[in-house]
Structure 1
Amino acid sequence: MMNFNFNSIEPIYLQVSEQIEDAIFTGTFAEGERVPSTTEISKQYHINPATVLKGMNLLVAADLLEKRRGLGMFVKSGAQERVTQRRQDMFYKNYIVSLVQEAQKLGLTEEQLWQLIQRGWNKDERTKD
């Protein structure tokens, strides 16, 4: 089920794209499976069909969906892996690089950084802070 925030500054077409991508990532939409049509989504959520199509076309351009004439949009083979790889790359760029830079500014050794990461990874230790 999709959930749109019509009060967000993020355009609806991007929300459509992100939510379908997330469904591919989590396996809700499996590879080879048909995703809801632009008409189905637009009617169910009261969104302009052109807006929905714009979001879906982003996923076609990202090689996650393919159009099958007369049948609809389908999740492409390897789409889940491509989403996972892209998200890992973004995680590295948005979090890891700055984490390491900040650790270096603090004078932490690699071992000390690993210890902090392990502490954060361990649920029991996180709840103590």
Structure 2
Amino acid sequence: MSPSFDDKKPIFLQIKELIEDQIVNDQLKEHEQIPSTTQLVQFYKINHLTIAKGINLLVDAGILYKKRGVGMFVAEKAKEILLTQRKERFLDEYVLPMMREAAKLGIAEGEMNLLITKAKEGIQNEP
């Protein structure tokens, strides 16, 4: 069963992110071949050019590399690159806005740590 795509984001970006997730989650490892464009088209039931556009973004970013006539492979250090990028994005998109809001609300560092611990415990107790 193919996943459903979010209407709010271009599908080629979602394909890119799905492959990135597989690398970050160790489903795809360094120098391992990714599924072919044809396989991805058949699985996701979307246009070949859409798949190619997502994959080419990863090639341009140095996350994947091409072996002519063989296919696409995960580049060396791809996981580290992706983790670094995601940590920077996490800081910008989540931590900084959270800290700004905490400052507005007068939440001290100790109280913030307690809130984070409480949230972490809630996540651990989820099914």
TM-score of the alignment, normalized to the shorter chain, above 0.5? yes
Counterparts of 1:23 and 1:16, CA distance in 2: 11
The answer to whether the Cα contact below 8 Å between 1:4 and 1:15 also exists between their aligned partners in 2 is no
Aligned sequence identity (%): 38
What TM-score do the two structures reach when normalised by structure 2? Answer: 0.87
**Quick one: distance in 2 between partners of 1:109 and 1:52?**
47
Find runs of 4+ consecutive structure 1 residues off by over 6 angstroms.
Answer: 124-127
Q: Secondary structure at the match of 2:73?
A: strand
CA distance in structure 2 between the partners assigned to 1:125 and 1:46 by the alignment? 35
Q: Find the counterpart in structure 2 of residue 98 from structure 1.
A: 97
Partner of 2:3: 3
Q: Is the 8 A contact 2:2 2:43 kept in 1?
A: no
Q: How many residues align?
A: 126
Contact 2:15/2:54 (8 A) holds in 1: yes
- Alpha-carbon separation, structure 2, partners of 1:110 and 1:87: 24
C-alpha RMSD over aligned residues: 2.2
Contact 1:30–1:75 at 8 Å: present in 2 too? yes
Which residue in the other structure is 1:81 paired with?
A: 80
Query: Are the aligned partners of 1:119 and 1:125 in contact in 2 as well (CA < 8 Å)?
Result: no
Aligned twin of 1:29: 28
Amino acid at match of 1:10: K
| Structure 1 portions without partners, runs of 5+ | none
CA shift for structure 1 position 71: 1.0
Q: How big is the shift at 1:121?
A: 1.7
Pairwise CA distance, 1:126: 7.8
**For 1:27 and 1:2, how far apart are their aligned partners in 2?**
20
* TM-score, length-scaled by structure 1: 0.86
Partner of 1:49: 48
Shift of 1:11: 1.9
